[in-house]
Chain A
Amino acid sequence: MALLYVDQVMVRFGGVMAVSGATFMAHAGEVTGLIGPNGAGKTTLFNVITGIQEPTAGAVSLDGEDITHLAPHKRAHRGVARTFQRLELFSSLSVRDNIRVAAELAMLTNVSSTVDSLLERVGLGEVADRVAGDLPTGSARLVEIARALATKPRLLLLDEPASGLSDIESEHLGRLLRSLAAEGLGVLLVEHDMDLVMRVCDHIFVLDLGVVIADGTPDEIRADQRVLEAYLGAS
Chain B
Amino acid sequence: MQELLTFTIIGLSTGAIYAVVASGLVVTYTTSGIFNLAHGATGMLAAFTYWQLRFDWNLPAPLALFLTLFVLAPLFGILTERVVMRGLQGTTEVVRLSVTVALFAFMIGLANWIWPSDSSREAFLKFFEGNSVSIGGINVSWHRIITFLCAILVAVLLRVVLYRTRMGVAMRAVVDDRSLTELNGARPYRVSMFAWAISASLAALAGILLAGEQQLNIEPLVLLVINAYAAAIIGGLKNLPLTFAGAAVLGLLDAYYLAYSDSSWFPQSVFGFSLSGVRASIPTIVLFVALLARPQSRLKTGVVRFREESRVPSWSTAILGAVSLVVIVIGISGMLTRANTLLLLNGFTFAIVALSLVPLTGYAGQMSLAPLTFAGLGAIAMAKLPGDGNLLTFVAAVVIVAVVGAVVALPALRLSGIYLALSTAAFAVLVSKLVFNQRQTFQTGNIAVPVLDVPFVDIGSPRSRLVLAAVAFSILGLGVVAVRRSRLGRRFIALKDSPAAAATLGMNLTQTKVIAFAMSAGIGACAGALAGDKVSPQHYDFTQSLPVVLLAVVGGVGTVGGALFGGLLLGGNSILASVVPSLKNVSKILPGTIGITLGRNPSGAAVQTAESFRSLQNRWGLIGVSGVGAIAIWALTAADVLSHWSFVVTGVVWFLAVTPNLPAIADCTHTARRVSTIVYLAVGLVVAGGIDWSTALDVTGQRLVTVVVLVAVIGLGGRRLSENGPRVPKDSPDVIGLDRSFTGEEIERAERELRVSI
* A interface residue numbers (CB < 8 A to B): 47, 50-53, 71-73, 75-77, 80-82, 84, 86-93, 97, 100-102, 104-106, 133-138, 144, 147-148, 151, 163-166, 169
Contacts and interface: CB of A to CB of B under 8 A. Distances in A.
Given A72-B503, A92-B493, 8 more contacts: A73-B504, A73-B507, A89-B501, A106-B506, A137-B755, A137-B756, A147-B501, A164-B755
Contacts of A86: 301-303
A12 B309 CA distance: 39
Contact of B751 (A73, A75, A80, A138): A138
B751 A76 contact: no
Interface in B490-505: 490-491, 493-494, 496-498, 500-505
A104 B299 CA distance: 21
A51 B298 CA distance: 10
Contacts of B309: 92
Contact of A88 (B306, B491, B498, B751): B498
Contacts of A51: 503-504
A93 B752 contact: no
B757 interface: yes
B181 interface: no
Contacts of A76: 503-507
Contact of A81 (B491, B498, B504, B755): B504
A169 B758 CA distance: 12
Nearest to A144: B501
A127 B752 CA distance: 15
A135 B502 CA distance: 19
B727 interface: no
Contacts of B501: 84, 88-90, 144, 147
A93 B497 contact: yes
Contacts of A165: 757
Q: Nearest 7 pairs between A and B by C-beta?
A: A76-B506, A72-B503, A88-B501, A136-B751, A90-B497, A166-B757, A105-B506
A138 B298 CA distance: 28
A133 B305 contact: yes
A136 B501 CA distance: 19
Contacts of B740: none
B648 to A, nearest CB: 37
B509 interface: yes
B310 interface: yes
B538 interface: no
A72 B504 contact: yes
A73 B503 CA distance: 5
Contacts of B500: 52, 84, 88
Interface string B292-304: 0000001101110
Contacts of B503: 51-52, 71-73, 76
Contacts of A88: 301, 303, 498, 500-501
Contacts of B487: 104
B236 to A, nearest CB: 14
A195 to B, nearest CB: 15
Contacts of B308: 92
A92 B757 contact: no
B508 interface: yes
B748 interface: yes
A136 B758 CA distance: 10
Contacts of A105: 491, 502, 505-507
A164 to B, nearest CB: 5
Contacts of A135: 752
Given A104-B487, A137-B756, A92 B306 contact: yes
Contact of B506 (A89, A92, A151, A166): A151
Nearest to A47: B301
Contacts of B506: 73, 76-77, 102, 105-106, 151
Nearest to B309: A92
Contact of A164 (B302, B491, B748, B756): B756
Contact of A52 (B496, B504, B756): B504
B373 to A, nearest CB: 29
B508 A73 contact: yes
15 contacts: A50-B504, A51-B504, A52-B301, A76-B506, A77-B506, A84-B501, A91-B497, A92-B306, A92-B310, A97-B490, A133-B305, A137-B756, A137-B757, A148-B505, A163-B756
